[in-house]
Amino acid sequence: MEKIGFKQVFNENIIYSDFLDADWPAPRNVKVLITTRKGGKSNGCFSSLNVGAHVGDNLEAVAQNRAYVQQHVGVPLVFLNQVHGVDVVQAVDAAGELTDADACVDNTGNAACVVMTADCLPVLFCDRAGTVVAAAHAGWRGLAQGVLQNTIAAMQVDPMEIMAYFGPAIGPDAFEVGEEVREAFCNQIAAAEDAFQSIGGNKYLADIYQLARLILYREGVTQIYGGSHCTVLERENFFSYRRDGQTGRMASIIWLEQD
């Protein structure tokens, strides 16, 4: 990790002050903002830029944190009530409501797709023409059950035209899982075997980034970027439920900038 002024370089990603910038060849009108744990008003285990209102933090602090993020996004943020499922909604339909879903899509430019994470994998999507964007919350259950496939289908464009960006998630050196997780993927994708490293006792280290890549490849999405961080090991920059238990949430946000 190289420190340069107010930015820190992590492989292909750059943290500018409080936010993580996605380095991918998305169209100019596709905008991305990924929060870190820095720059907010929360205290204690939620310090400091927690955007999760469901984790036990002071709700006034969460509101201030969300307002701070909103200042950097040109359209309204649409937060979902994430349930580790596979449902996808139109962001404009979910605006102002706490809709049960784990992914949202927008082709209007009037809403920002948001997913919150603290170890689960946030996946951001756009098409090469810059006409549609989406965000998916992919914990292992949603990933195994089809949240990425459903998100791609909801975008209603040729998968070969879709780009995907992996935001910060638990890394392959920290994601310990049991046999049930391994079977959930290997029973449907033979190549998933390579994403699990046995550590004995029917326990494995799983590479959630690799599992997501395999699913996207199978769906025809081959332009895939990001996936270099570990929320567990990068304590100063990211919240991690696996590491800390009670903790905050980061937001991965994507939207279409209007002309």
Supply the pLDDT for residue 236: 95
Residue of 109, 146, 120, 117 whose CA lies nearest to 254: 109
pLDDT higher than 70, residue 3: no
Helix, strand, coil shares of the chain, percent, nearest 5, are 25, 30, 45
Q: Each residue of 127-178: pLDDT tens digit?
A: 999 999 999 999 999 999 999 999 999 999 999 999 999 999 999 999 999 9
Angle at 174 between CA 232 and CA 85, to 5 degrees: 80
What residue spans define the domains of the chain?
19-169+222-256
At residue 11 the predicted structure's pLDDT band, cuts being 50, 70 and 90, is: very low
Report field, pTM of the whole predicted structure over 0.85: yes
| 19-169+222-256 homologous superfamily | CNF1/YfiH-like putative cysteine hydrolases (3.60.140.10)
